[in-house]
Structure 1
Amino acid sequence: MSYQYRFERILTLKEKEKDELNEQYKGAISKFEKVAEMLYGFLKKKEDLEFHQAGRLQNGLSVQDIRHHQQFITNLEKTISYYQELVIQARNRMNWYEEKLVDMNMEVKKYEKIKEKDASVFLEKMKEDENNQLDEVSVVQYMNRGIR
């Protein structure tokens, strides 16, 4: 008689859901990293541009160049603001998937724990049945010796 876990299908389904959620979580991490790198690039570009403009102001700039740089910085700030929102959204999505993954891990562990306990109960029952059979065989052998 072999052991068969009664919730095996549920456990398999939960493990599959956990694996899918893990893939989605990895995708959310990847998207977060990509958006954060873009934001960093724009922030670095703005910093370099401001540094460059400050250096050119020391040597003197035309009003047209100052306006041009200021317009470019304003547009860059709008882009930075947009990417900051994207980073916030990506971080929230990543955190949401992380919470769901933690919950799913706990659920799978519960089913695995139930399986372990059920398997140990099954083994104990098998040992008990085996001991009872050995006792019956011993009694029958003893009775057969006594009859002769």
Structure 2
Amino acid sequence: MSYQFRLQKILDMKGKEKEKAQWDLAGSSQQLFRDVQSLKSMLEEKEKMENMMLQLQQASVEIRKIKEIQAYLERLKLRVVNQKEEVKKTEMLVIKHQGVLADKNKEEKILKIMKEKDFLQYMEEEKRKEEKELGEIAIHQYIKHTGEGEL
């Protein structure tokens, strides 16, 4: 008789849930990386435009040109604010996925420990059965051997 863990289907399901949680975490981590890179790029562009504004204000440049750059700079500042919010949302999503993965790891570990204990009990029971059978065989052989000697 082979060993069969009674909760194997649940253990398999928890393994699949854990794998999905790992994929979700990887996806949100990649999205966070992209969001942060985008924010860095925007901040660099903003700094570049602010420096350009300072140079243009010191030079004698048309007011129209300065106003165009100021308008672009204001739009860029708004995009930076929005991107910072997006980064925060993605960070929260990563934290959520980390928590889900931690829970799935715990659930799977509990079931694996249960499986190990169940297997040990199974092995002990099999050993007891084997010892009982060997004992019965030994008794039958003894009886057979002593029975032949009396005749």
TM-score, length-scaled by structure 2: 0.91
Deviates more, 1:72-81 or 1:17-26: 17-26
| Equivalent residue pairs, number | 148
Provide the rounded CA distance (Å) in 2 between the counterparts of 1:81 and 1:102. 32
SS state of the match for residue 6, structure 2? coil
Check the 8 A contact 2:5/2:118 in 1, yes or no: yes
Does the CA-based 8 Å contact 2:53-2:70 persist in structure 1? no
2:69 corresponds to: 69
- Is residue 99 of structure 1 aligned with residue 99 of structure 2? yes
Q: Given that residues 21 and 97 in structure 2 are in contact (C-alpha distance below 8 angstroms), is that contact kept between their aligned partners in structure 1?
A: yes
User: Unaligned regions of 5+ residues in structure 2, if any?
Assistant: none
d(CA) in 2 for partners of 1:9 and 1:86? 39
The answer for the alignment partner of 2:79 in structure 1 is 79
Identity %: 26
Please give the root-mean-square deviation of Cα atoms over the aligned residues, in Å: 1.4
3-state SS of paired residue (1:4): coil
CA distance in 1, matches of 2:111, 2:99: 19
C-alpha distance after superposition, 1:116-139 (max 9, x if no partner):
110011011101110111111111
Aligned partners of 1:133 and 1:60: how far apart in 2? Answer: 106
* Partner residue in 1 for 2:38: 38
Report runs of 4+ in structure 1 exceeding 6 Å deviation.
Answer: none
Query: Aligned pair 1:146/2:146, yes or no?
Result: yes
